[in-house]
Structure 1
Amino acid sequence: MSVLHHKPMDILGLKQDIVKNFQRKIDERNHDKAKWMTEENLERVSACPICGSSTQHADAIMDLTNTRYVCCRQCQHVYLLKRLTRDALERYFKSDLNVNCMYADPEISQKRIEEVAKPKLNWAIDQYKNQYGEVPESILDIGSGAGHFVQAAREYGLAADGIEISESSRTDCKKLFGFDLINTNFYESDLDLTQYDLITFWGVLGLIYSPTDMLSKAFDCLRHSEKGMLIASVPKWNSFGTSVQNIHTDTIIRHMNVLGHIHIYSESSLATAFVNAGFSPCGAWYYGMDIYEFLMQLSYLSNIPSLPEKTAQYINPLQMTIDHAGLSDEIALAGTI
């Protein structure tokens, strides 16, 4: 299996709104948690969402307001003990503008394509070429947000479509790039989605109610292709970023965020999910924003707002070390049918 480490980028440029308004982002996230993490919206999880092992055999590893993250002893998957119900989760992602607005700023849209979407596309194409000796003819991106990855694929010359349930994100995509994303729930969709060679889940499997159902649906779509491939990126538990956030849980706005990530993966749980759905893992990519997270938290807790900008030159070199050690807060996995 091929393994790649690191993805350099101008993280402060991409996250400039958060860097300048970190306190406001914390307040917005806490407001959202108070609004949504209520008893009527929550349900207790009785078994690991990946391997099915009883939650009685899971260890508590991070306590948060109204819930906690637990780790499955069988596959090392990390998940919320109490999470939003399927209905509440879908309503949250359909209606909450704070989830999507950060990705729709026209001023940084092209920067996001160049520094985030295109590196992901290039890695996906490389994985496909390694297995099949050619470029995929068609791509379906699930949970496309404002459509940056789909736009990058189209600029490359590929037939690419995206699925997005958020109305505001679909509107942003139309405004930014001039095309429509498909408005459907991928898992429940009765549309014919069997014409694609490559299906991607960039940052989606940490958000959704049942990742195993989504992966099985993807396999059903791709099994009609002789050269089908799935790619998914997920938040990773065993990371430097996790350790930073575990020290002070009141200022979390990303990664170990109970509204954004109800699943946090280990290499074991991600591989288990792929294999159980019928995919054979063939490539992995370690990258993340751990150093950015460390500097943002240190800046906030020490009341030195200029710290991230003053240390910007060290972010990529230090992140590269984290990524090569396998301690990044994100991992992408490719798998063939």
Structure 2
Amino acid sequence: MSAVTREAVEACLRQLVDPHLDQDPVSAGCLREVDIQGGKVRVRLELGYAAGLFKSGWAQMLQMALENLDGVEAAQVQIDCVIESHQGQAQVPSLGNVKNVIAVASGKGGVGKSTTAANLALALAREGVRVGILDADIYGPSQGIMFGIPAGTRPQVKDQKWFVPLEAHGVQVMSMAFLTDDNTPMVWRGPMVSGALLQLITQTAWDNLDYLVVDMPPGTGDIQLTLAQKVPVAGSVIVTTPQDLALLDAKKGVEMFRKVHIPVLGVVENMAVHICSNCGHAEHLFGEGGGEKLAAQYGVELLASLPLSMAIRMQADDGKPTTVADPESQIAMIYQDLARKVGARIALAGKVAMPSIEISED
């Protein structure tokens, strides 16, 4: 029986690709420790993204691969998720108690942006990290409804300066809707809206968040520019439908984020296909392949493609989005995969090479 070497262990790990990083754990810089004691091998990895529901299965796959190595009697794989704070735009100060800000945006309304933002935040929380969501859609805030927060609920005020975010389904939630009358429209000019957004972000006492998901208003106006200039955004997610008009507006959103030096993490395509609940016939009501074309045109990833589903709409209206209402459903699994991919893209964008430790009997 030949002696096990570090080179053999690394070569083995390189044979398996993390589906969220699209790289093997060695090339992605996840390997932190290799301990070889005769025929016993212990490996420790660190994932820079939220993967609480994924890491045990991933560890088992890596363990099985290592135990097939010549000379290995037993293998142990430990995987930790360590969420680092990633730098946003240059010269924009960091946000206290928030490691990473994710902007969820769309070029036009009605494409399911707020539903995507809510499910993304909830999916990240299910992966075991601390998450908040800010409803920056000042004119049409909806996150309070989606998170089941009763109308008229007001946040507490701390030290006469800070808003204490509400909490629902394990996510910290803040919205302009909590500070105003639900039936009173926001008849505000751009500077007032931008000022309100800044106050919401900077004067909310977020409690040590790994990720803050910001549900942006549709379009490319004052609020988007304010966010780019004043808030350190780690990355943006563009939501669209396959419809040509929606794609045209989504392209403007991609261009806008690139001009203000905010990374576009990828595209989410909603209402991609409708499956008849009676006969199972699939029909592309809003066109086909639009999200893929947009992603390919701008060199970004199609992060998720979701069907036109009555369940998504009903669960959001009931205050329990799909990710918590039916966490084992196929649609919820798509949102979980989206959450891990978003976290992985942020981790890769700010990756700093870390040395790994080798321990052996020699």
Q: TM-score, normalised by structure 1?
A: 0.33
| Higher radius of gyration, 1 or 2 | 2
TM-score (norm 2): 0.31
Which of the pair is proportionally richer in helix?
1
